Amino acid sequence: MNSSLIKGQDYTVDDNGMMVFTADYLLRRGYCCESGCRNCPYGFSKQHRTRDSPRVVSLVPSWTETLIEAGVHVVGRTRYCVHPSSSVMHITHLGGTKMIDEKEFFKLNADLVILDQEENTREMATFCGERAHVTHITSIADVAPAVSLMAQKLQSQSLQDIANRWQEISKYSQRCRPISEMPGVIDWLTPPDNGSKQLIYCIWKKPYMTVSKDTFIGSILMHLGYGGLIPSYNEKYPIVDIDHLDPKETTLLFSSEPYPFDRERDQIAQLGFPAALVDGEVFSWFGIRTLRFLEENKALKS
* Residue pLDDT, tens place only, 190-200: 999 888 999 99
Diameter over CA atoms, the chain: 74
Least confident of 9-18, 68-77, 119-128, 208-217: 9-18
**86 contact partners, CB below 8 Å, separation of at least 6:** none
**Residue 50 above 80 pLDDT?**
no
**More confident position, 14 or 226:** 226
Cα-Cα-Cα-Cα dihedral sign, residues 214, 218, 221, 226:
negative
Q: In the beta sheet, which residues pair with residue 58?
A: 114
Q: Domains in the chain and their CATH numbers? A: 50-169 (3.40.50.1980), 179-285 (3.40.50)
Specify the pTM: 0.81
According to DSSP, residue 172 is labeled -
Instruction: State the pLDDT at residue 34.
Output: 59
According to DSSP, residue 91 is labeled S
Region 86-99: what's the mean pLDDT?
92
Region 115-137: what's the mean pLDDT?
94
Region 183-207: what's the mean pLDDT?
95
**Residue 51 above 60 pLDDT?**
no
Region 100-121: what's the mean pLDDT?
93
Region 155-163: what's the mean pLDDT?
96
* Dihedral-angle region of residue 206 (phi above 0 means left; psi in -120 to 50 means alpha; beta otherwise): left
**More confident position, 301 or 7:** 7
Do 280 and 258 contact (CB within 8 A), yes or no? yes
* Residue pLDDT, tens place only, 162-183: 999 999 999 877 777 899 999 9
Do 44 and 58 contact (CB within 8 A), yes or no? no
pLDDT band at residue 46, thresholds of 50, 70 and 90?
A: low
- 196 by DSSP, 3-state: which? coil
Do 114 and 58 contact (CB within 8 A), yes or no? yes
Q: What is the mean pLDDT of the chain?
A: 90
Instruction: State the pLDDT at residue 52.
Output: 61
